[in-house]
A and B are shown apart, each in its own frame.
Chain A
């Protein structure tokens, strides 16, 4: 039955026929059913979901999942509501979420499946839907980054970086060169720098907030410092850059000047291996979280690349993934773009002794 294909179906476009099913789902997880979903959210006890399982010390806990603003209890903006009223009154639901960026009370989700970016602004309690910069429609927005009061969008379809402010206004952008295909983004707030993984030209680019190039490193190859489809990026507290070197099946680390520091990972289907590495991020303790789309899981490594643990498995239920891609960490929250379950899942870093 089609209605069962995704777990988080609380978004407002759902038809009445699926209400009964929805009720069952709501009892199981904290999905929402309407505009004022927070008040309607059931408080049904649910077994705590942690990884690793006992008796190992729990390190990661499942918290929630969302597919639209009402799942988060945030309203859509007046403008979005008005335009939706005209277009049919439905809420904009994720189609194929990919890149994520989280900063304080803002969650931005690039959705190349829908050709737009969803911005959930928790403090202003509203959802922005960005589908165009002035009159130019987004092509294939695959990743986002937040730097200062700007939102940067990597538009792989149009080989350009688009810039928005958090009122939904367009603040310009710039095109990358011939042969480039912008993929993952990462922001280094301390250096006011935006990193762009260029999967087309097999390099990593650094820009200042206005798009002036400040750094470029890498070229195609398999040697140290070379890339074969660099896709996702992360920056640690020291400004070191971590690059998912997708088809070399490894993660490489560079310092803020682009100097190669090291690499880890090898191809395989075993625990600790990489098959289709994607989104990457670091927690406060410097542990590396790496999505693997084919494993439908997130593997954790320490800063030396030693394998620590895994969470997630294939499926549609909470804590399951279906070809996940992007990953972001903000404080102790882990956000995973669960692309083919059409949702974002949220986990908590529990910390503890190493």
Chain B
């Protein structure tokens, strides 16, 4: 093709984009002419367009390379005719992830760190040092929002939460081949909005053109009017409230420290805790999450994946395992589940995966209902520690988490609780500070000074020191202590717990029992490894419920052979205390 020369260039500049206007571009950092604004040294005046080779059309040529009037045959390349290079053709067949095509090539040819800001690529966090390894390089080399990819119906089907490309309204545009390019978010000709953005990014308005997350608009993060406490700064684009900063509170579209999902911090909790430590959000989760017994989100990095299947995922815990930051809210979303747990996946009591849990316990079962508990503290006759199996409503007895309990006559249940009441995992597994009426303590099983993340003290030694309210405070919050120990017509709790010093946990397994009524599943070894309950002299180890207020045990404990012993019975109660060798030797 014969070179066309430059005659059309002024025409293009004026006709193709009348809205752009040379005047508008002239005042921007993208006026790269020698007299332009682009990176002019501070304090120096522009030299003026006259210094340039031609005049005002200089503004266009930096990106819109004029067609050559002078294509030459190389002196060493006589066989090759003068050619014209293609600078930025945008064909979908050439599209490969990470390789900018189309007009984005023009942007990146200057945004290389020399002519213009080039930190469009990963910049390591100096505090963490260089990032290497599969976690970074093996997945996605870029810490920038992807460009030069086809945004079509097929993509919408593959990836949830994207708007139908045919419905993209207003400012965000795809290129002529349907690809996302730098120009989808930035208009190089106009710096009406910060960073040459096509629209003001206030309240995530730019991101949500494409990213349509269900229930985001009503979420606590989207609607938050929280501001930073004095002396602190909000993460994000610099707006005053969390809601205004929106997506940018947690995501960074360029140079994200955590390239996957473009997060603002290398560690997942590093995204949440800068606000959720009392600096922006009211409650301090940072200190709670490192309590003696806690969901240690700080101990895992880059393990969680939003598409993970609990049945096959590696064990881990991150904030986002229980909280969907795009949907979480205060109160409730209308269902049974608490607002902060809105939109989180779960496992049903039957073991089926749920994209959205309907009950709190289903969230817990994602980890605690998959395998046996690796950190089990005590051993029991039926030593199943998979909580999903323990609390199953098919069992003879269970704490009423997944369904109403079986026992219509629960001894000493404190009003307003009734045998038809339900409990939640967090009724017992919670931050112990909340039960101490500390209004600022965050609720939930983030951490506790009592293991395993218990809301109150609960001692698991087989034979403890003197019984007190404090030692079993967890149980006594619902099961009235004085009723348990004053009644003489049922099981002699007074004898076992107060006089012998046995823990509630010696006979009861709090989650449930797959064998017996009344949560009976005897402790065989306590948390110190000491032997607790063994078989009776006839080799039997079991509990039989014989009706309301009556039952019998086959077992040996602290040297006493029950083969069986029945209650209620004079023989059982009445203060004929047998001193236990275990008790004497274990004054813990």
Contacts and interface: CB of A to CB of B under 8 A. Distances in A.
B96 A5 contact: yes
Interface stretch (A37-45, A101-109, A186-194, A305-313): A305-313
B584 interface: no
Contacts of B114: 142-143, 156, 181, 183-184, 197, 199, 229, 231-232, 246
Interface string B112-154: 1111001101111010011111110110010000000000000
Contact of B138 (A5, A15, A55, A339): A15
A57 B84 CA distance: 22
Interface stretch (A145-153, A163-171, A234-242, A289-297): A289-297
A87 interface: yes
Given A15-B138, A129-B130, A52 B77 contact: yes
24 contacts: A5-B99, A14-B138, A52-B77, A56-B77, A87-B130, A90-B138, A95-B141, A114-B130, A131-B124, A131-B129, A156-B113, A179-B42, A220-B41, A229-B39, A269-B66, A269-B85, A270-B83, A272-B74, A273-B70, A273-B71, A302-B75, A307-B75, A323-B109, A342-B98
Contacts of A197: 114
Which range contains the number of A residues in contact with the other chain?
Answer: 35 or more
Nearest to A287: B76
Interface string B221-254: 0000000000000000000000000000000000
A137 B130 CA distance: 9
Interface string A187-209: 00000000001011110000000
A323 B105 contact: yes
Q: Which of A89, A181, A292 has the most CB of B within 10 A?
A: A181
A5 B101 CA distance: 13
Interface of B: 3, 32-34, 39-44, 47, 51-53, 61-62, 65-80, 82-88, 96-100, 105-106, 108-110, 112-115, 118-119, 121-124, 126, 129-135, 137-138, 141
Given A13-B137, A137-B124, A340-B100, 20 more contacts: A56-B76, A84-B133, A88-B132, A112-B119, A114-B124, A115-B124, A116-B124, A139-B123, A197-B114, A201-B41, A220-B40, A222-B34, A223-B51, A271-B72, A271-B73, A271-B82, A272-B70, A292-B85, A294-B88, A316-B99
A268 to B, nearest CB: 3
A322 to B, nearest CB: 5
Contacts of A143: 114
Interface string A30-73: 00000000000000000000001101110100000000000000
B85 A90 contact: no
Contact of B134 (A90, A116, A221, A272): A90
Interface of B is mostly: loop
Nearest to B58: A222
A5 B97 contact: yes
B486 to A, nearest CB: 61
Contacts of A55: 79
A160 interface: no
B68 A247 contact: no
A5 B33 CA distance: 35
Contacts of B88: 294
Interface in A1-16: 2, 4-6, 13-15
Nearest to A307: B72
B397 to A, nearest CB: 48
Contact of A294 (B68, B69, B105): B105
B123 A115 contact: yes
A57 to B, nearest CB: 7
A309 B74 contact: yes
Q: Which of A179, A232, A341 has the most CB of B within 10 A?
A: A179
